[in-house]
Chain A
Amino acid sequence: MRRKTWRRQLLTLPPTGYLLLFFAVPSIIMLFASFRYAGEYGGLAPWYYYEAGEFSLDLTLENWQRLFESEIYLLLFLKSIGYALLTSLLCILLGYPLALMIARRPKRQRDLLLLLVILPFWSNFLVRIYAWMIIFSPAGALTQMVNGLLGLFGLGPVTLMYSTTAVIVTLVYVHLPFMVLPLYANLEKQSPALLDAAQDLGANSWRRFWHVTWPLSLPGIYAGSILVFIPVLGMFAIPDLLGGTDSIMIANVIKQQFVESRDWPFGSVLSMVMTVAAVLVVLLGARLARQGVARG
């Protein structure tokens, strides 16, 4: 018995200790920092004073009040959530046919087709963004083509670079595999016998899809949507490199607070709000997925 507890500690303690120190503690420090004053030259001011034998705390709600003083931050949060929802939706639109096609292929083809979805996702994140910087560049083929077409109707020219369109397209591109994988996992498990039964009962292919496949795939859609939504909510690189001034997201402001203006307390406030938003989304998604499974 003693040996077993000893083994349990050996397996559990090192990873738990490491993650507590480098994940949990920093998160708590950030929560705490959101109640502190900013230092004179950036960073943080001391959180207590000890003068003449007297100890006094120096914490504040000011940073949190600033969040509500101007609507700009809340609007930015809403806008980022909107971008994340739109990206999830477009990923469903593009990812569903792909996942369905793979799931309906013979078993030996599936692994290869799925690997082909995963591969681009493993190429460097910045490389994938950079690819779209080339495509959207004013001299690039896509812009030339669009403007050529518009020119026929006496319209344009337009610039695609540094626009919200460029940001959304790249967001979808970068996150699409996150949608395809859980969707495929779900669709693959659906029994073909269900579709056969529906066909025997006289349902055409559209009705079979709409009344059988689609409702059963909702848990996969919820799971994929969370996997897309969360990283998009925290995205700053894509708006930074491809977006204009009107397409910045909340993560760009967080980055700005920590790197450029060095207002760490306010940056911490924004980060805490993002944490809460992310946790709520995960909980909501898990709940929806469970309900979906229960109904299915």
Chain B
Amino acid sequence: MASPSTRGSLALTLSAYAVYAFLYLPLLIVVAYSFNDSRLNAEWVGFTFDWYHKLLHNQEMLKAAGNSLIIATVSAAIATVLGTLAGMALHQFRLRLLPGLVLAPIAMPDILMGVSLLLFFMLLNMSLGLLSIILAHITFCIGFVALSVQARISGIDKSLTEAARDLGATPWVCFRRITLPLLAPGILAGALMAFTLSIDDFVITFFVAGVGSSTLPLQIYSMVKIAVTPEVNAISTLLMVLTLALIMLVSRLSPAALRGS
């Protein structure tokens, strides 16, 4: 006879697996229908690559994908530099302004950053386009990079840098030869996270994008707003594969960075 505690833990395990199913089934449905030879996301008709084929000839979608890549690359690069500086500064100094500035954009609902940046760009008479999107993406990525770098720094043994200084290394040499290599996984994890966040962002981009600067998420939004088509399944699947690859990479480099977010 099962004791109450094993019965309890069986119930726990079963309900946990049910929640895993809840998390994964919807995404599996999207992937499955992307190979379904039917315009409707209902019955399974047969296997096809048609929707992927159509996607490759969809000029708007290709343009949006190009925009997304440019935006994510540029904003991740700049946010990585600024976020690394911020992460190091937060670790080394007791600062008054920066901690709040790093955390507030993460803690506020996205829509608020979106509309306030829209106001800001309009009052500057800036036309909305790739530049405004990049500036916005850098803003929300800095915090995530900073937290990733900060998490990594606090794990570095202080005696290593002290030893280098004792042996006569200048602060710059010590930084370049000791601190930076040790920090590298944290920085890279932060950079990949920034890239992923940028390529995925919908809410903030929605407000600061202009005509002709559509990104993949905006393109998906305008497609599903009109009708649910299997082409969306195909692009969603591709996007999922891309994000999956990036996240696997981040989790290899720095598991703490993922959990920290």
Contact = CB atoms under 8 A, between A and B. Distances in A.
A94 B12 CA distance: 11
Interface residues of B, number: 83
A128 B26 contact: yes
A190 interface: no
A210 to B, nearest CB: 12
B89 A230 contact: no
A97 B21 CA distance: 14
A152 interface: no
A134 B239 CA distance: 18
Q: Main SS of chain A's interface residues?
A: helix
Contact of B97 (A16, A18, A124): A16
A204 B4 CA distance: 8
Interface string B122-163: 110000000000011011001000100000000000000000
A95 B16 CA distance: 8
Interface stretch (A49-57, A58-66, A70-78, A232-240): A232-240
B102 A19 contact: yes
A135 B221 CA distance: 17
Given A120-B23, A241-B224, A254-B111, A8 B93 contact: yes
A20 B95 CA distance: 14
A128 to B, nearest CB: 7
A133 interface: yes
Contacts of A212: none
B52 interface: no
Contacts of B255: 111
Interface stretch (A21-29, A214-222, A288-296): A21-29
Contacts of A23: 101, 104-105, 113, 139
A25 B117 CA distance: 9
B19 A237 contact: no
Interface string A95-126: 10110111010000001001111111011111
B173 interface: no
Interface string B109-126: 111110111111011000
B260 to A, nearest CB: 9
A5 to B, nearest CB: 10
User: How many of chain A's residues touch chain B, expressed as a range?
Assistant: 35 or more
A19 B105 contact: yes
Interface stretch (B59-67, B180-188, B200-208): B200-208
A11 B89 contact: yes
A265 B138 CA distance: 26
Interface in B41-99: 41-42, 81-83, 85-86, 88-89, 92-93, 95, 97-98
B30 A258 contact: no
A247 B7 CA distance: 40
Contact of A98 (B19, B108, B111, B203): B19
A88 to B, nearest CB: 14
B30 A134 contact: yes
A126 B224 contact: yes
Interface in A132-166: 132-135, 137, 139-141
A94 B116 CA distance: 35
A234 B98 contact: no
B27 A127 contact: yes
A204 B135 CA distance: 57
B84 to A, nearest CB: 9
Contacts of B239: 123-124, 127
A12 B93 contact: yes
Contacts of B104: 23
Contact of A131 (B4, B26, B110, B139): B26
A30 B13 CA distance: 49
Given A11-B89, A33-B119, A234-B109, A126 B220 contact: yes
Contact of B196 (A30, A104, A122): A122
B212 interface: no
Contact of A205 (B4, B105, B247): B4
Contacts of A133: 224, 228
B9 A134 contact: no
B19 A173 contact: no
Nearest to B101: A19
A46 B95 CA distance: 37
B19 A127 contact: no
Contact of B30 (A43, A115, A130): A130
A97 B12 CA distance: 6
A206 B11 CA distance: 13
Contacts of B9: 104
A115 B89 CA distance: 30
B116 A29 contact: yes
Contacts of A15: 82-83, 85-86, 89, 98, 101-102, 142, 146
9 contacts: A12-B95, A118-B259, A120-B24, A124-B217, A134-B41, A139-B42, A255-B111, A255-B206, A278-B108
